[in-house]
Structure 1
Amino acid sequence: MFLRLPAGARALGIALLAAAVLTACGSDDKAAPAPSATPAATKVVVDTTSGAPVAGSSLTLKATLLAADGSEVKGASFAWTSSDESVAVVTAASDKAPTGVSASVFVGTYATVQTRNAGKVDITATATLADGSRATSVTHLVVQAAPAKSYTLTLSPSNLTLTAGGAAQTVTAAVRRSDGVDGVADLTNWSWTTGDVTFPVTPAADGHSAQVSSPSSARLAGSAVLAACADAPTGTRLCANAALARPTAPPPTYSVGGTVTGLAAGKSLTLSGVNGDTAVVSANGAFTVSSGLADATPYNVTVFAQPAGQTCTVQNGSGTIAAANVTNVAITCVQAQFVVVPNNIDLTISVYRIDPNTGVLAAVPNSPFPSVNQINDIAFLPSGLVGYAIAGDNSTVVGFRLDPVTGALAAIPGATALTLPGPEVIAMHPSGKWLFVGGLVSVATYGIDAATYALTPSTTQPSGMSSVTTGLTVSPDGQYVYAMNAMPDLLWSMPFDAMTGVLSTPNTAPSLGARPGGGAVSADGRSLFFANLFSNSLGIGLIDTSTGMVTAVADFPTAAAGPTDVALAPSFAYVLGSMSNSIEVFRRNLATGLVDFSVGSTPASVTGQRLRIEPNGRYLYTPSYTGPVYGFEINATTGLLTPLPGSPFASGRGNVGMAIVQPTP
């Protein structure tokens, strides 16, 4: 917009022109020429960016100072003021304010004016040159009333698909004002609704967004409309919708798991679940073996592979899923125990795993294992990993390795040695370094190589003496070896040097009964228990603990006819009768080392030859000669025996030996 200068400005221009003329007339022709002066300013021209400003908007004014000839005068500073700041106010100018101009006045060639309300206002631009001369321009603005703002409300996203029980999704409101500004903050009194309880909605605290979900109970397909509404400053209430959809939910699925306890460090076990699912567990704590199972699915959790040297059992392992995850399956792991029974006639060896909770025997995979020869007896190292069996048909000792994970037996190459003719019994030294074999004529000693398990003959006792060793046992401290000899009926007490492997000449004592066999030494080393086959009696030899020799022998009649073996519990002695097919229980007298009375008898193995109690003292086992293995639970208070569930357990034929093993890898 171009405006005329007021009279004052014109007078200023004329004065400046007159001064210039006077100066020129009074100059000396010989004087040096004066430098050219800044052209006299004649007017200020102001351009605007809007011819019809609206309240609430801004515009930019540009001021230009012109000379009389219309050329621009450089070097001027411009100050800007408003006649009515309620209508419009100068908010900024682009040049630095000159000295002497109030800081409240905006200075610069370009001025930014913010309109506030409808009305008329003058914006004055004052140009000031370096010599102090000034020129002024007034821009008349007529500010129009701003049109009413309108608002548009939308939701993002506008379409949502929700799954039953899935994560909530966020819907956000977007508000666009008619002037292009985000207007979400202008709206108040927000509300978010769906009108469907299967699509619950939770607004944010500021109301500008909300989360919508679908509960897991909403299994059927469904749809709804999410409506968001708010009040606009215009007095209207705005609403926007988003479409909600839920497909039919698949049936819920569940998992089967529980807790493992007692698993040794560094060990792992494999569990089997539903539909062939397996899970390897390497630490105590929670586990899951099967998942994705429908309601009412039967499940059965079993141990697929045991940890080395341990037996893990399952409690609460079977049932039917009842619309919830199964979390109460309990796996308990303890030291593994195996029962090893040579089957003399079948030329095999049967191996069973003991269930630590029930005592029940379960044949290990691939049992029985080939023995090649007729095994009469077997004994294991204290580690339980290697056992030695005596073969009666070729008078050899054969080494076998037991797998602590599976219980499988396999012959050890190079761990075979010739032994006495007609070997009957075998015993292991507590150190695991020496092996004793009893047979015709004598008792032989072998050293065991710790690396290869090869056997080296040491000493044989006694030499040149006619005998048949039918029972063999070692004192708990390993310093004495005791042999029961059927011909003649003698008990041998032999000192043993565990450093050199020398077995000394035996001290003999009469057995009192006929054909002594079996044999067990009490834990305190004071009593030697044995069975007299032909006289139907229990023999007890009292041991002088200072010399290890049997110094006195007592004989007790037994109802276990044809007794062949004896096993000891802390308070009881058990005698196996091979002719009565029963076990008689005697109460031990721990003060005298003898027995007080018979507690009673229990039917047992048929023509049984061996009797063993597992190391924890809870279960007793005895194999029939040509039939199954019988198992019993021991009543620690009364000593009486109760058959185990499932007893007797199938076995081979010719069962004349037995060992109970605890492998400790």
Structure 2
Amino acid sequence: MGYGFLKAARARSVCVSAALTLSACGGTSSSATDTTQSSSANDAYAVGGTVTGLVTGTQITLLNNGTDALTVSANGTFSFPTKIAADGAYAATIDTQPTGQTCTVSNGSGTIGAVNVTGITIACTRLAFAYVVNQSTGNGVSQYTIGSDGSLSPMATPSVDTDGAAAIAITPSGKYAYVSSGQSILPFTIGSDGSLSPMNPASIAIGDIVRGIAIAPSGQYAYVADETSGSVLQYTIGTNGALSPMSPASVPAGNTPFSVTADPTGNYVYVINGSGDTVSEYAVDRSSGALSLVGTAATDHAPTSMGIDPSGKYAYVATQSGVIDQYLIGSGGALSPMTPATVAAGPDSIGLVVDPSGQYVYVADNNQGSVWQYTVSGNGALTSMSPASVGGGAGLDSSSVAMDPSGQYVYGVNEGPATISQYALGSAGALSSLSTPTVSTGNVPSLMATTYAATQ
């Protein structure tokens, strides 16, 4: 790199484009960097580093020495527009955080030597939130932020009143949440800080008792179990989060439908029928979201909840019969029992979650107040870990289990003491309690949902 080029660079604004898309105040572009450059004290040197963890489609604005601005819109190397002479100081800071994320600076300041600076690190992590529905009046949904260590912290407004709640579902975008409460569906927007705000209208009257809610992976459709009529209500979700009934507005289910699960591929929906010991199987019309009944699968007595692995090949149903039912998902969505058809569990399994990697399954047991833990084999069958369960204790009455969006932490909802047990996943999926093992929640908690903050 010649002295004439460097002199010209000092006379104009330069935008640098390296392994990612960068924008600043205009000017020409140059490539980032000769890290071995050594020249006279009159030469100037680039200041830059690496960005990691930035979500695709978002951007972060950086400053050097408080003024030299650079906008980064992808992970990789970066370099500030203005070079600095030898012995000059540099100090990288964050001017504008990316939407839904928090970024930090490491090795951000120092004095220029006779080489380009390339060691600044900008590490970004996504914000995450958790919500617990409580069946008591006055604190219907408890709201939490999820820390980098997995711990839950109540938001500034710790709960929103829903006059009791049964279930909650959140769109994949992290923008909208829907709560079933008695004979109504309550739609909410999710703020940048994770707080829930009622939409307008704040309630959709159903007239029947509604229970479980599931959102399609596309975020375009919602399905609600109507316990009274024995049906599944189906809605389209507008760009503003508003629910609109499909035509037809409902499809038949079995006796006492109360839990709805959408498979990760978006092709199928499953509804647990509590009184009939069955699962209703539906195919999804991908163009409209409408459901069509494929058939029903038998379960062991008193099924409670269902989980599906990320590949959409395997399904698991928790029951209050001391077993987990295991199924293969056929090409048309029909469930067929694995061999073996069941795996031992707690005597009153009432909540189940599959981790995002598809390697582990966790089940809450209401009778023991514990969380049972399993590994998933190559054919989808579950194998108990050692120990088979963690936590537990008289009066805990665990009602459900959930995972954080990253798949690194597990939460057990304890109805008896109104607490949430907090666990971290070990290298083989085994759970261990966090340093703060429990946090308080509202009265009679039942279900929990987590989400990343919206980034768009």
Q: TM-score, normalised by structure 2?
A: 0.71
Matches within 5 A, 1:69-468: 266-267=59-60, 308-312=99-103, 332-345=123-136, 346-356=138-148, 358-368=149-159, 370-392=160-182, 395-404=183-192, 406-414=193-201, 416-419=203-206, 421-440=208-227, 441-451=230-240, 453-459=242-248, 462-463=251-252, 467-468=255-256
Gap change, CA 1:452 and 1:400, over 3 Å in 2: closer
2:414 matched to which residue of 1? 624
Among residues 317, 322, 325, which one is paired with 1:536 in the alignment?
322
- CA offsets per residue over residues 187-226 of structure 1, 9 Å max, x none? xxxxxxxxxxxxxxxxxxxxxxxxxxxxxxxxxxxxxxxx
3-state SS of paired residue (1:652): coil
C-alpha contact 2:323 2:343 (8 A) present in aligned 1: yes
Check the 8 A contact 2:351/2:401 in 1, yes or no.
yes
Q: CA deviation at 1:479?
A: 1.1
- Aligned partners of 2:254 and 2:273 also within 8 Å: no
> 2:249 & 2:218 partners in 1: Cα distance?
19
| Aligned residue type for 2:245 | T
1:653 to partner: Cα distance: 1.4
Q: Measure the CA separation in 2 of the matches of 1:375 and 1:314.
A: 42
Runs of 4+ in 1 over 6 A off after TM superposition: 281-286, 313-316
1:616 Cα deviation from its structure 2 partner: 2.2
> Counterpart of 1:515?
302
Offset at 1:307?
5.6
Distance in 1 separating the partners of 2:301 and 2:97: 46
Supply the distance in 1 between the matched residues of 2:352 and 2:185 (Cα, whole angstroms): 24
Alignment of 1:517-596 (within 5 A): 517-533=304-320, 535-544=321-330, 546-552=331-337, 554-558=341-345, 560-569=346-355, 570-591=358-379, 593-596=380-383
Q: CA-to-partner distance for each residue in 1:245-297, whole Å, 9 max, x for gaps? A: xxxxxxxxxxxxxx99756754579xxxxxxxxxxx997899xxxxxxxxxxx
Contact preservation (8 Å) 1:415, 1:454: no
1:126 aligns with: none
Shift of 1:478: 0.9
Give identity over the alignment, percent.
24
5+ long unaligned stretches in structure 2 = 1-49, 63-68, 73-77, 80-93, 108-119
Larger radius of gyration: 1
Deviation per residue, 1:527-553 (Å, 9 max, x gap): 1111112x1211112211x21111226
Letter in 1 for 2:190: L
Partner of 1:641: 431
In the alignment, is residue 482 of structure 1 matched against residue 274 of structure 2?
Answer: no
Are the aligned partners of 1:604 and 1:630 in contact in 2 as well (CA < 8 Å)? no
Q: Is the 8 A contact 2:294 2:334 kept in 1?
A: no
Q: Distance in 1 between matches of 2:61 and 2:181?
A: 36
**Mapped contact 1:448–1:455 kept (Cα < 8 A):** yes
- Alpha-carbon distance in 1 for matches of 2:97, 2:434: 22
Evaluate the alpha carbon distance shift between residue 376 and residue 267 of structure 1 in structure 2; reply closer, same or farther with a 3 A threshold. farther
Query: What amino acid is the match of 1:540?
Result: Q
C-alpha deviation, 1:341, in angstroms: 1.2
Please say if residues 461 and 504 of structure 1, whose CA atoms lie closer than 8 Å, have aligned partners that are also in contact: no
Instruction: Summarize the alignment of residues 17-56 of structure 1 with structure 2, pairs less than 5 Å apart.
Output: none
The answer as to whether partners of 1:442 and 1:460 remain within 8 angstroms in 2 is no
Q: Which amino acid aligns with 2:279?
A: L
5+ unaligned residues in a row in structure 1: which ranges? 1-258, 270-280, 287-302, 317-328
**Structure 2 residue identity aligned to 1:455:** S
Q: Deviations over 1:270-329 (max 9, x none)?
A: xxxxxxxxxxx997899xxxxxxxxxxxxxxxx9x976311457999xxxxxxxxxxxx9
- C-alpha deviations, 1:490-512, integer Å up to 9, x for none? 1111111131232112401110x
- The residue identity in structure 1 corresponding to 2:259 is G
Give the match for residue 389 of structure 2.
Answer: 601
Q: 1:359·1:619 contact (CA, 8 Å) conserved in 2?
A: yes
Distance in 2 separating the partners of 1:613 and 1:520: 12
> How much has 1:373 moved relative to structure 2?
2.5
Q: Residues 359, 590 of structure 1: CA spacing in aligned structure 2 closer, same or farther, 3 A cutoff?
A: same
Answer yes or no: is the 8 Å Cα contact 1:385–1:664 preserved in 2: no
Q: Are the aligned partners of 2:318 and 2:324 in contact in 1 as well (CA < 8 Å)?
A: yes
**How many Å separate the matches in 2 of 1:416 and 1:311?**
33
* 1:351-370 deviation per Cα after TM superposition (whole angstroms, max 9, x unaligned): 211122x11222222222x2
1:213 corresponds to = none
Length-normalised TM-score, structure 1: 0.50
The 1:332/1:628 distance shift into structure 2, 3 A limit, reads farther
Specify whether residues 547 and 466 from structure 1 end up closer, same or farther in structure 2 by C-alpha distance, changes over 3 A only.
closer
With over 3 angstroms needed to count, the CA separation of the structure-2 counterparts of 1:657 and 1:367, relative to structure 1, is: same
User: Aligned-pair distance for 1:566?
Assistant: 1.1
Shift of 1:471: 2.4
Partner of 1:198: none
- Match in the other structure for 1:503: 291
State the AA in 1 paired with 2:151: V
Query: 2: CA distance between counterparts of 1:376 and 1:583?
Result: 21
Give the 3-state SS of the residue equivalent to 1:644 in structure 2. Answer: strand
Aligned residues: 362
